[in-house]
Amino acid sequence: MREVLVLYYSHRGSVRALAQQIARGIESIDGVSARLRTVPKVSTVCTVSAPEIPAAGAPYVEAADLAQCAGLALGSPTRFGNMAAPMKYFWDGTAAEWSAGTLAGKPACVFTSTASAHGGQESTLLSMMLPLFHHGMLLVGLPYGETALSSTRSGGTPYGASHVAGAEGNPTLSDEERQLAFAQGRRLATIVMQFSR
């Protein structure tokens, strides 16, 4: 069984909802399973540290998760057109994995959520691709063969699945957002299987 790491940071639940739908898409392919993981918040007080196990949701990611995965789906909410600080902080600490080539040659995709339709989804998706390129990963997008990409009135881009949460941070995905997240997970898992033949 090949495992795809679905690594995300979610502040209000929208990115977690996308991660869960991507995981469903991954697991729709025989021989592939999803491993959901998250990263802790970044504290402004240096002496404070997060508990070793989160109170709810997926466990925190460990170096072994990167080493053991056959592919990666990476998600973060948008912060001024960029990935959120906790996710950036995590990637800033992966020099050992970069040096060892732990992720080199593995397929990956990205996903995000914003409060508004023009809140920087595509620039955030691109910002998450940068460390993955440096790690030597092979990026997978969403082709326009996915019909929901042309009909969506909310989230969804060719760079990756996305969600528009609105000012209130509603984590409920639209039908198109759900379809696209599932399709992205399924596409990633299909490529993982092709690479492992």
Q: Using alpha carbons, select from 67, 73, 72 the residue that is nearest to residue 96.
A: 67
Is residue 163 within 8 A of residue 133, CB to CB? The reply is: no
**Residue 194, token pair as written in the block:** 């092709």
Report how far residue 69's alpha carbon sits from residue 46's, in angstroms, rounded to the nearest whole number. Answer: 31
Report how far residue 109's alpha carbon sits from residue 104's, in angstroms, rounded to the nearest whole number. Answer: 14
**Residue 74, token pair as written in the block:** 């990476």
Phi, psi of 42 (to 5 degrees): -95, 130
pLDDT for 197 equals 67
Per-residue pLDDT of the chain (197 residues; tens, 9 = 90+): 999 999 999 988 999 999 999 999 999 999 999 999 999 988 777 666 667 778 778 999 999 999 999 999 999 999 999 999 999 999 999 999 999 999 999 999 999 999 998 889 999 999 999 999 999 999 999 999 999 999 999 999 999 999 999 988 999 999 999 999 999 999 999 999 998 76
Sort strands 32-38 and 71-79 into parallel, antiparallel or unpaired.
Answer: unpaired
pLDDT for 48 equals 62
Q: Using alpha carbons, select from 68, 55, 85, 87 the residue that is nearest to residue 4.
A: 68
Place of tokens 């000012």: 167
